[in-house]
Amino acid sequence: MESRVRAGEKLVEVPEAQDAALQFIGRIRTPWSERKDCPRQGRVDGPECRVEVFAPWREALLGVGEYAHLDLLYWLDRARRDLVVQNPGNDGQRYFGTFALRSPQRPNPIGLSRVRLERVEGDALIVRGLDCLDGTPLIDIKPVTCEFTPKAPPKG
Amino acid sequence: MESRVRAGEKLVEVPEAQDAALQFIGRIRTPWSERKDCPRQGRVDGPECRVEVFAPWREALLGVGEYAHLDLLYWLDRARRDLVVQNPGNDGQRYFGTFALRSPQRPNPIGLSRVRLERVEGDALIVRGLDCLDGTPLIDIKPVTCEFTPKAPPKG
């Protein structure tokens, strides 16, 4: 857990997280090896990143290549989890609740980016629009369907 | 875990999930108490739902009311986690990898909906656009900033 806390930011005592457990399903390769180099939010005109999927989940990529955009969920394993009020600009002026920010510091440090799928390369996806460190653990891949007719028919 | 598996769907042996742990930060109240009643995907013209935030996280709502749309993450605690290929229409015809679907059945059963924030009521958010069961555990709330100027200045 990163220890940095800025003046006026507010921490809470939180219970040990044990309500549900995650398994990492892959790993994300990006150009950024230090936090200071990561963009604040990903941009779809940003650099290509490589999303590597572990066995036994590779077969779950069947059909992903038909989508133009994906929602990726990943685990921000260096974030602290006890901040409730933050000062993202470190200016001592503007404070926001954690749920009014997309900061990595949050009770469940899950990152979410809506990315553009450039292509599928074997067991990996090449995407643009990420903002995370090289080596970040992958949690989920979801297709973005709102731009297209859903493949599955609606329930009767 | 729900046991239903359709003809031709494919399961894998998965290790016990223990790479990271989640804490539930609230609970979602919706009109749907059985899975068959849930919409396939939420619609922003759907019914109002109530997102209740637990102590000690209520102060983290500071500033959330300024956003028109939020990304909500929630835990689909009745989903099975070992399906890699699915037949969502149950027609024996069209099979998709789990990552080409937004089905609840996935290795990390996290639901994600982009919702419209109608109003804040004390420690709860009233939103439209959800698709989950009444009582679903809440994992995260993130503001959707792409429509607006981000509140935090970009890094220099």
The yes/no answer to whether this complex scores an ipTM above 0.85 is yes
In this prediction, residues B115-144 reach a mean pLDDT of 95
**Nearest-5° Cα angle at B107, A79 to A30:** 45
Token pair recorded at residue A58: 């590779």
Is A13 among the domain residues? no
| pLDDT tens digits along B16-33 | 889 999 999 999 999 999
State the pLDDT at residue B3: 60
For residue A15, the tally of other CB atoms under 10 A from its CB is 8
Task: Determine, for residues B23 and A13 on separate chains, whether the beta-carbon distance falls below 8 Å.
Answer: no
What is the model's pTM? 0.91
Task: Determine, for residues A100 and B137 on separate chains, whether the beta-carbon distance falls below 8 Å.
Answer: no
Q: Does A122 contact B at CB distance below 8 Å?
A: no
What is chain B's percent helix, strand, coil content, to nearest 5? 10, 35, 60
Q: Is the pLDDT of residue B149 over 70?
A: no
Higher-pLDDT residue of A138, B39: A138
Give strand ranges (E) for chain A. 10-11, 20-22, 26-29, 48-53, 69-75, 83-86, 96-97, 110-121, 124-128, 136-143
Per CB-CB distance under 8 Å, the chain B contacts of A108 are 22-23, 25, 73, 139-140
State the pLDDT at residue B24: 97
State the pLDDT at residue A151: 42
Residues of chain A with pLDDT under 50: 1, 148-154, 156
> What is the total residue count of chain B?
156
What residues of chain A, 7 to 66, have a C-beta less than 8 Å from chain B?
10, 12-25, 39-41, 53, 56-57, 59-64, 66
Give the domain extent around A34.
25-143
In this prediction, residues B125-146 reach a mean pLDDT of 93
Dihedral (Cα; B47, B102, A151, B84), 10-degree rounding: -150
Is B51 among the domain residues? yes
Per CB-CB distance under 8 Å, the chain B contacts of A73 are 73, 108, 110, 112
Lowest pLDDT segment from A17-21, A74-78, B137-141, B147-151: B147-151
Task: Determine, for residues A77 and B13 on separate chains, whether the beta-carbon distance falls below 8 Å.
Answer: no
Task: Determine, for residues B98 and A60 on separate chains, whether the beta-carbon distance falls below 8 Å.
Answer: yes
State the pLDDT at residue B152: 45
Is B19 among the domain residues? no
State the pLDDT at residue A3: 60
Task: Determine, for residues B140 and A19 on separate chains, whether the beta-carbon distance falls below 8 Å.
Answer: no
Helices (H), B9-119: none
Is B13 among the domain residues? no
How many domains are there within chain B? Answer: 1
State the pLDDT at residue A17: 86
Domain containing B32 — which CATH number? 2.40.30.70
Distances (CA, A) of A1 to A101, A105, A109: 19, 10, 11
State the pLDDT at residue B37: 85
| pLDDT tens digits along B58-104 | 999 999 999 999 999 999 988 999 999 999 988 999 999 999 999 99
Per CB-CB distance under 8 Å, the chain A contacts of B81 are 23
Is A75 among the domain residues? yes
Is B44 among the domain residues? yes
State the pLDDT at residue A149: 42
